[in-house]
Amino acid sequence: MSTADAVAKQRTPVRPARILLHVFLVVTSLAWLAPLLWAIFAALRPYSETSDKGYVSWPDKLNFDNFKNAFEQSDMMHYFVNTLIIAVPAVLLTLLLSSMVAFYVSRFDFRLNIFLLLVFTAGNLLPQQVIITPLYRMYLLIDLPGVTASGKLYDSALGLVLIHVAFQSGFCAFVLSNYMRMLPHELTEAALVDGASVWRMYWQIVLPLCKPAMAALATLLSIWIYNDFFWAIVLISTGENMPITSALNNLSGQYFTDPNLVAAGALLTAIPTLIVYFVLQRQFVSGLTLGANKG
């Protein structure tokens, strides 16, 4: 503590204003965390105790029973797997497709470049509900016997993957094309003169240089797609096929019969995002600001 203090003193002298600021920030942070802490508190207490003593009371027993029950009773694992089946292909495909568009747009000065980029970016900014009515009809009309379990694009993981890819590739194409534009032009110019194919230029020269941006976008996309609620609520009809975030809505009525179980169930679904966030915090934040800084 003392050495840390010394370092702090070197940076800025500790003034009363600073201390006041810290007090303010500690109080506000705690206020910000309060709803989450309240949920954790409720989830850790047995229902019998809280119904007896009320929720604002000193806890006699704290355990993970609610978490265990919420997880097992609702077969949560099944829904986590559903999410995985949707999110992994969606993230990979989005990155692949958007990097291809970005490569085309940033490296080849064709007449339609800006227009193409505009189409992608504007598409990503539309509210999802603008397109949902025709999309829902389209998904019902497209027959895919043998390809999906439902025989249609509707109510299938494939349908969700496609709309995620189509929608998110707008943002990613925008970010990646900005990133690729900053790479020195000589890199690809030289390769072109040497007779390298366009695909090699993309795959072996440009893409490896975009790793930081791709990592940031991958983190961001994983969390966004994991957290998606809307697409699955409308485009999936069978409760069993829902990814976890959307399934929460049904599960809370069916299996999470008391507030303690609801709290535990909701918190369980938040855990994967929190892990990704804490491990890849830097990527997440830089991804979020990559698009914003430029635009």
Size of the site for other proteins (CB under 8 A): 114
The residue (of 92 and 233) whose beta carbon lies closer to other proteins is 233
The residue (of 77 and 126) whose beta carbon lies closer to other proteins is 126
Span near other proteins by CB under 8 A; candidates 61-69, 131-139, 143-151, 208-216: 131-139
**Residue 1 touches other proteins, criterion: CB under 8 A:** no
**Residue 279 touches other proteins, criterion: CB under 8 A:** no
Q: Which of 13, 16, 35, 146 touches other proteins (CB under 8 A)?
A: 35
C-alpha count within 13 angstroms, C-beta hemisphere, residue 247: 24
**Smallest distance, other proteins to C-beta of residue 143, A:** 14
Q: Which of 128, 199, 140 is nearest to 168 (CA)?
A: 128
Rounded CA gap, 252 and 266, in Å?
9
**Residue 80 touches other proteins, criterion: CB under 8 A:** no
Angle among Cα 276, 295, 132 to the nearest 5 degrees reads 70
Rounded CA gap, 207 and 180, in Å?
9
**Residue 38 touches other proteins, criterion: CB under 8 A:** yes
Residues numbered 144 to 163 that lie near other proteins (CB under 8 A) are 162-163
Residues numbered 85 to 124 that lie near other proteins (CB under 8 A) are 97-98, 100-101, 103-123
Q: Which of 101, 87, 102 is nearest to 244 (CA)?
A: 87
**Residue 12 touches other proteins, criterion: CB under 8 A:** yes
Three-state DSSP class for 61?
A: coil
**Smallest distance, other proteins to C-beta of residue 290, A:** 9
**Smallest distance, other proteins to C-beta of residue 145, A:** 19
The residue (of 36 and 149) whose beta carbon lies closer to other proteins is 36
Cα–Cα distances (Å) from 42 to 38, 247, 264, in that order, read 6, 21, 8
The residue (of 149 and 198) whose beta carbon lies closer to other proteins is 198
**Residue 218 touches other proteins, criterion: CB under 8 A:** no
The residue (of 19 and 88) whose beta carbon lies closer to other proteins is 19
**Residue 48 touches other proteins, criterion: CB under 8 A:** no
**Smallest distance, other proteins to C-beta of residue 33, A:** 5
Q: What count of other Cβ atoms lies within 10 Å of the Cβ of residue 136?
A: 13
Is residue 163 within 8 Å of 235, Cβ to Cβ?
Answer: yes
By rule CB under 8 A, what string of x and - marks binding of each residue 235-264 to other proteins?
Answer: ----------xx-xx--x------x--xx-
**Residue 193 touches other proteins, criterion: CB under 8 A:** yes
**Residue 171 touches other proteins, criterion: CB under 8 A:** no
Rounded CA gap, 70 and 81, in Å?
16
Three-state DSSP class for 66?
A: helix
Rounded CA gap, 267 and 36, in Å?
9
Which tokens belong to 132?
């949902």
**Residue 186 touches other proteins, criterion: CB under 8 A:** no
Chain centroid to CA 102: 21
**Residue 135 touches other proteins, criterion: CB under 8 A:** yes
Rounded CA gap, 252 and 268, in Å?
13
Amino acid letter, 122: A
